[in-house]
């Protein structure tokens, strides 16, 4: 006799952003699945992966917020990391096997001096243990098969790099960097500059664009909370757009904007800080987020609209 099927739990049409403090050992996708299940959300996505070894800020987008997740993928990131000098590993972090061991003969001043050389635009060789693809296959698959393939260097930008603690052979630092930066590669390169090699033993993301850990929540806290308590942790959709200048439209312009029409800038009242901005967030007079738009050639052109906004 076939057991009766359990009734499906109805999914919720949620719009918002969750600042999740991802735990150690969990992939970004697994963290997303758990949070989506807890919220019973219909639609959700994350804004760039964190390795299982890494902890910290993982913004998750629900509903209409998923339309703007790309903006965080492009944003600068801030991390606090600890590297161990004197040992190189197969993966560049603590998950790999040691492949080279050298004496650590430097002092904290030498570490700081070496780190300063990496501030600004630098070229990184992506690690073999990464999800970048070569001939349609992730690099980590080649690495697991014992193969090494050539990788082109990529330019990234280290905006800030500061040593926070130094208890040799371990060095803890904070870095703010552009998209595409591999912090474990940065640690390896600093180790090579010091002549002893290094690998990453801890990594915590503390910032993504303008978002920080300040209002984040853990999966354990979400699991223990009620539905209404969970909803209080959801940030509004425009939390992803806080760095964009703001443009407010009147009723007629709002109607035309929501129909995808390009608006003449000469017919709009644009605040001084938004006049020359290439992209802006757009609101109705009543404070409703309408979407984001591009400015140029004398027009305001809708780029992505929020469907839930009233037309």
Superfamily of chain region 16-75+211-239: Pseudouridine synthase (3.30.2350.10)
Q: Characterize the bridge pairing of strands 44-46 and 16-22.
A: unpaired
Residues 6+ apart with CB under 8 A from 227: none
Question: CA nearest 72: which of 278, 265, 243?
Answer: 243
Tokens of 178: 């552009």
- The boundaries of every CATH 2.30.130.10 domain in the chain are 244-305
Model-level pTM greater than 0.85?
A: yes
DSSP summary character for residue 217: B
Going residue by residue through the chain, which has 311 residues, state the pLDDT in tens, using 9 for 90 and above: 566 666 676 788 899 999 999 999 999 999 999 999 999 999 999 887 888 889 999 999 999 999 988 888 888 999 999 999 999 999 899 988 999 999 999 999 999 999 999 999 999 987 766 667 776 777 667 667 676 777 788 999 999 999 999 999 999 999 999 998 999 999 999 999 999 999 999 999 999 999 999 989 999 999 999 999 999 999 999 998 988 999 999 999 999 999 999 999 988 888 888 888 899 999 999 999 999 999 988 999 999 999 764 54
Phi, psi of 281 (to 5 degrees): -95, 140
| Helix H or strand E segment including 184 | helix 183-193
Q: Determine contact, residues 207/77, Cβ cutoff 8 Å.
A: yes
- Give me the CATH code for the 77-208 domain, please: 3.30.2350.10
Question: HSE on the CB side for 276, CA within 13 Å?
Answer: 0
Whether domain 244-305 has CATH 1.10.10.10 = no
CB atoms within 10 A of CB 249: 21
Which residues are tagged catalytic? 51
- CA distances, 25 to each of 267, 276, 287 (Å): 54, 44, 41
Helix (H, G, I), strand (E, B) or coil at 76: coil
Query: 3-state DSSP: the chain helix, strand, coil percent, rounded to 5?
Result: 25, 35, 35
Helix (H, G, I), strand (E, B) or coil at 235: strand
- The boundaries of every CATH 3.30.2350.10 domain in the chain are 16-75+211-239, 77-208
- CA distances, 226 to each of 79, 86, 114, 161 (Å): 31, 48, 49, 40
């Amino acid at each position: 006799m076939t057991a009766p099927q359990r009734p499906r739990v109805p999914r919720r049409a949620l719009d918002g952003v969750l600042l999740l403090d991802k735990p150690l050992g969990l992939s970004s996708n697994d963290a997303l699945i758990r949070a989506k299940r807890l919220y019973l959300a219909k639609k959700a996505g994350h804004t760039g992966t964190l390795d299982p070894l890494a902890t910290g800020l993982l913004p998750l987008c629900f509903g209409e917020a998923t339309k703007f997740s790309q903006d965080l993928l492009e944003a600068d990131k801030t991390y606090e990391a600890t590297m161990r000098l004197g040992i190189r590993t197969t993966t560049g972090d603590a998950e790999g096997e040691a492949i080279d061991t050298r004496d650590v003969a430097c002092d904290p001043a030498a570490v700081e001096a070496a780190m300063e050389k990496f501030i600004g635009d630098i070229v990184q060789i992506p690690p073999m243990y990464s999800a970048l693809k070569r001939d349609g296959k992730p690099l980590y698959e080649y690495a697991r098969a014992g193969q090494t393939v050539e990788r082109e260097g990529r330019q990234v930008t280290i905006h800030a790099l500061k040593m926070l603690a130094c208890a040799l052979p371990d060095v803890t630092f904070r870095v703010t960097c552009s998209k595409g930066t591999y912090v474990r590669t940065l640690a390896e390169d600093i180790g090579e500059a010091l002549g002893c090699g290094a690998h990453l033993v801890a990594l915590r993301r503390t910032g993504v664009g303008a978002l920080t850990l300040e209002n984040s929540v853990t999966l354990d806290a979400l699991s223990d909370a009620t539905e209404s308590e969970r909803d209080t942790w959801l940030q509004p959709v425009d939390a992803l757009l806080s760095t964009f200048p703001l443009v407010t439209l009147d009723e007629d312009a709002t109607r035309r904007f929501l129909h995808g029409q390009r608006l003449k800038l000469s017919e709009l009242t644009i605040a001084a800080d938004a006049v020359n901005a290439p992209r802006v967030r757009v609101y109705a007079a009543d404070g409703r987020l309408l979407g984001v738009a591009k400015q140029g050639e004398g027009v305001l052109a809708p780029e992505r609209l929020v469907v839930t906004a009233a037309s």
